[in-house]
Amino acid sequence: MKMQGNTILVTGGNSGIGHALAVALHEAGNHVIIAGRRADALKDIVAAHPGMASYVLDVADPAAITAFATTVVREHPNLNVLINNAGIMKPEMLNNEPVDVSAAEETIAVNLLGPIRLTAALLPHLRKQAASTIINVTSGLAFVPLAITPTYSATKAALHSYTQSLRFQLRETSVRVLELAPPQVATELMAGQSMNPNSMPLADFVSESMALLAAGNDEILVERVKVLRNAEATGTHDKIFNFINNPH
């Protein structure tokens, strides 16, 4: 992917990895559009980075996605990069009786149906561009799940699979499909995660990811996530699963 001169939409661009990526891409010379649920946070980011644009969007709402896609294409006809980054991560206690599936349903709506619906809504426009890119943000937990967040891990595994199929189906079009799979990064995706000494510093993650984006690989994998991504291939899946789910 070229690293400047794009018009880039980042969902979940008001916090965490999405915010940091949006700022880095803006500073690299792109027109960046951020979308998220919190209007106040979006407004503050745009004010701090003149030239950015923002929209309030709940990716769990199918009607909102349809309306948003129409608006963003009309107002930003040069849109050529979609980064499906919005996501939530919630613990689930499957031993409780009765099992509460509300967190699972919300996670599926945001993490899986959200990017599928938004991709479908914007794909006709993206296919008309001379060169466009879809980047789906998954997780190292797509490959080795964290048992306390079963649906989060499952949605990221599903999005990884969807991304592979999307890439194959679009292989003869102008649309490139990439996957960005972060390790545990110092954000507040989960409460306290930003203070966890095992979390990769956000600035380091973004810097390494930007360099990998410029390199042109289909999968953007910082070094720290490769132990998870390659666990099955290296025969270490069970060992790593037990390690991350039974921390010492």
Exactly one of 55, 68, 152, 205 is catalytic; which is it?
152
What lies within 8 Å, CB to CB, of 239 at 6+ separation is: none
Closest CA to 6 of 118, 132, 122: 132
Within 10 angstroms of residue 160's Cβ, the number of other Cβ atoms is 18
For residue 84, the SS3 value is strand
Within 10 angstroms of residue 41's Cβ, the number of other Cβ atoms is 16
Treating both helix axes as pointing N-terminal to C-terminal, what angle do 39-48 and 16-27 enclose, rounded to 10 degrees?
30
Place of tokens 């018009």: 7
- 55 assigned to active site: no
Three-point CA angle 110, 116, 120, nearest 5°:
135
In whole angstroms, what is the distance from residue 132 CA to residue 83 CA?
11
User: Which residues are known catalytic residues?
Assistant: 152
